Amino acid sequence: MRGNSPESDVVISTRIRLARNLRSLPFPMLATNAQSKEVLDQIVPVLNSDDLQQISGFDLFTLDQLGELQKRVLVEKHLISPNLADESRNGAVMINENESVSIMVNEEDHLRIQCLCPGFQIREAWDLANRIDDIFESQVDYAFEERRGFMTSCPTNVGTGIRASVMMHLPALVLTQQMNRILQAINQVGLAVRGIYGEGSEAIGNVFQVSNQITLGQSEEEIIDNLHSVAKQIIEHERAARQKLLGESKMRITDRVKRSYGILSHAAIMDSKEAAQRLSDVRLGVDLGLLKNVSPHVLNELMVMTQPGFLQQYAGAKLSADDRDIRRAELIREKILSS
């Protein structure tokens, strides 16, 4: 969130997730408590191995160690899935020092390896995920079939088991009413567009997650190359749309950006949906050079910090919806005015 990264005016982050299962045990949804415990017993030695620790320092957390608020914060930071937080039996997660890698155990699959990179770094994320995957594959017996590839709980992941995604801020394509056309084109090339928290989530604040749908019949490199190529085209379309807004509607877009900045700087109450939209406007203004006194890194951080779980952790107490709206407005004012 804080560092400079490639194409960061449009791409917020890049993620690679690999789904893997152990050959001799049922998928988590069918496993008994003893069987899911056995999965954990087989995987923990790898998590603690020197090979993995040399990549980065990791800490292991079992889900029964964590309170509901802690789990919610990890979901909001994209370090664990809602499925792991809510439904896992003998679930665990291993997270590295800078939170760029999380390894989930007993989620929908026995093992979910996830690597996050800032900005547009899809090949870098894949290289890191691949290194970690090789370490696990050398020490546990994966469920793998020569013709079908990696066996997964959900048929849509069978094959490579890879889900590559790019989180993109696309306000100009939305404002110029080009987004529907872009979505149709993306779907035709085997990619999917979802909201900020993946499948079934809403695209709030003009943030969209573009990811592969096909995992069988293509190699990992083909999947990565396809997503990389399409994402580059989306970046170019978004930048062209931004220039169109500046050329044809500069005063209108300036008014929109500055109104949102004014509201974020002074509002006493702010719900999460309005906050996401106002932050999107201000971020667009920063990227277009219409606002000079706001750091884009602060806006990235506020995307996470204004979520309900994080707000309550920040406050050190459980908050009602009204109290969260007050705290959210307070936090935004503090961060925006000090950036």
* Residue 167 is assigned to a ligand binding site: yes
> Predicted confidence band at 304 (pLDDT cuts at 50, 70, 90)?
confident
Q: How many CB atoms lie within 10 A of CB 65?
A: 10
Is 32 marked as a binding-site residue? no
Q: What's the CA gap between 170 and 179, in Å, rounded?
A: 8
- Please write the tens of the pLDDT for every residue from 43-57: 999 988 888 888 888
166 is in an annotated binding site: yes
Check the annotation: does 326 bind a ligand. Answer: no
Residue 3 covered by a domain = no
pLDDT in tens, 235-294: 999 999 999 999 999 999 999 999 999 999 999 999 999 999 999 999 999 999 999 888
Last residue of a domain, one of 184, 216, 236: 236
Average pLDDT in the chain? 90
| Statement: residue 200 has pLDDT above 60 | no
Instruction: Report how far residue 96's alpha carbon sits from residue 227's, in angstroms, rounded to the nearest whole number.
Output: 26
User: pLDDT tens digits, residue range 74-114?
Assistant: 888 889 998 888 877 899 999 998 899 999 999 999 999 99
Residue 165, marked binder: yes
38 shares its domain with 103: yes
Section 20-32 average pLDDT: 92
Show the tokens assigned to 30.
Answer: 């069918």
At position 40, the amino acid (one-letter code) is: L
Q: 195 among the known binding-site residues?
A: yes
- Residue 174 marked ligand-binding: no
Confidence of residue 67 (pLDDT cuts 50, 70, 90): confident
Q: Quote the CA–CA distance of 101 and 195 in Å, as a whole number.
A: 21
316 is in an annotated binding site: no
CATH number, domain of 113, equals 3.30.590.10
Q: Residue 204's pLDDT is what?
A: 80
Q: What is the pLDDT of residues 120-142, one digit of tens each?
A: 999 999 999 999 999 999 999 99
Task: For residue 248, say whether it is annotated as part of any ligand binding site.
Answer: no
Residue 71: give the domain boundaries.
11-236
Q: Based on the domain organization, do 333 and 253 belong to the same domain? A: yes
152 is in an annotated binding site: no
170 and 191 co-located in one domain: yes
Determine whether the annotation assigns residue 282 to a binding site: no
Task: Say what percent of the chain tops pLDDT 70.
Answer: 96
* 146 annotated to bind ligand: no
For residue 325, being part of any structural domain is answered with yes
The encoded tokens of residue 260 equal: 């949102």
Q: At residue 13, does pLDDT exceed 70?
A: yes
Residue 102, marked binder: no
194 annotated to a ligand binding site? yes
- Tens of pLDDT along 159-178? 999 999 999 999 999 999 99
Ligand-binding site membership of 104 (annotated) = no
Q: Does residue 91 have a known ligand-binding role?
A: no
Judged against a pLDDT cut of 90, whether residue 1 lies above it is answered with no
Give yes or no: residues 232 and 260 share one domain: no
